[in-house]
Structure 1
Amino acid sequence: MNPALINWPAVFVAALSAFMVGGLWYSPKVFGTAWMTDTNLTQEEIQKGNKGKIFGMTAVFSLIMSANLAAFLATPTTTTSWGATAGLLAGVWTFCAIAIHSLFEQKNWRLIFINGGYSVVSLVLMGAILGAWR
């Protein structure tokens, strides 16, 4: 890893991409309705959530994830393909962590695949952005 090879604008764009994926992934037309059912949340409960805290901390964590992935990809040989592959590998790691926590919380497999799948897709896209924007 060479910290000088981290492209910080790419890190910010890659972090932002997680919001875009999340907006689609958890929309009612994709997995939002199933996610709400499996988490036992109603639309009213979701609306009562502290949006500043939820979205603010999501932005911070997405930025940390993106910067961490960028650190692993900070080599002169990184390409879009390798970035996406590294994102997939990181996604598998996070999917497994989500699955472990969810199993102990007695969540169902559909919810595990919804949340874990989001993580995999987000990290693949992050890696592709970081690999492409060198």
Structure 2
Amino acid sequence: MTLPIAHVNWLAIIAATASAFVLGGLWYGPLFKKAWCREAGIDPDAKPGHPGLTFAIAIVCAFLAATIFAVLMPPQASAADGFGVGFVVGLFFVSMSFGINYAFAQRSLKLWMIDSGYHIIQFILYGVIIGAWK
């Protein structure tokens, strides 16, 4: 299978990657930090060392996910199409994969919903940005 990389918009991919960080800052910050930390067993007031490696891994993963998402989106897709595809990918691929892992790890439903919710919105944003930015 050859991936049709010629139709991708690299600026849209970079914007989609950045959107994951903006969303994450809000989602795991003021919106759900305390609940997420409680469910994940993390002290919300702990001051970890410099998170450079964590952020580097996160940006590479977000960039790769946005790139492959853009490659697989049809070139004629609109923002509305991107919304639908992003919702399907976030809910049925990412969230359900987390569901399997969280079930076996005996993690809470609340943690699954927080983490899944982030990724559903992440891929919706990817789809809207990539679909809208021609």
Q: TM-score, with normalisation over the residues of structure 1?
A: 0.92
Q: Which residue identity does 2:19 align to in structure 1?
A: S
Letter in 1 for 2:118: Y
Aligned residues of 1:3 and 1:74 also touching (Cα < 8 A): no
**Residue type at the aligned position of 1:108:** S
- Answering whether residue 29 of structure 2 is matched by residue 16 of structure 1, we say no
For residues 1-134 of structure 1, what are the structure 2 equivalents within 5 Å?
Answer: 2-27=4-29, 29-45=30-46, 47-75=47-75, 77-92=76-91, 93-134=93-134
Q: In 1, distance between residues paired with 2:60 and 2:14?
A: 10
Deviation string for 1:7-36 (max 9, x for gaps)? 011101101100011110111x31111000
Rounded to whole Å, the distance in 2 between the matches of 1:61 and 1:50 is 19
Pairwise CA RMSD of aligned residues?
A: 1.3
Question: TM-score w.r.t. structure 2 length?
Answer: 0.92
Please tell me whether the aligned partners of residues 91 and 120 of structure 1 are also in contact (alpha carbons under 8 angstroms).
yes
The count of aligned residue pairs is: 131
Offset of 1:43 from its aligned partner?
3.0
Give the C-alpha shift of residue 67 in structure 1: 0.4
- Counterpart Cα distance in 2 of 1:127 and 1:38: 29
Percent identity between matched residues is 28
Q: Secondary structure at the match of 2:106?
A: coil
Aligned-partner SS, 2:31: coil
Stretches (4+) displaced over 4 A: none
Tell me, in whole angstroms, the C-alpha distance in 1 between the residues paired with 2:49 and 2:124: 29
* Structure 1 residue 49: Cα displacement: 4.6
Which segments of 5 or more consecutive residues in structure 1 lack a partner in the other structure?
none
Contact 2:86 2:127 in 1 (8 A): yes
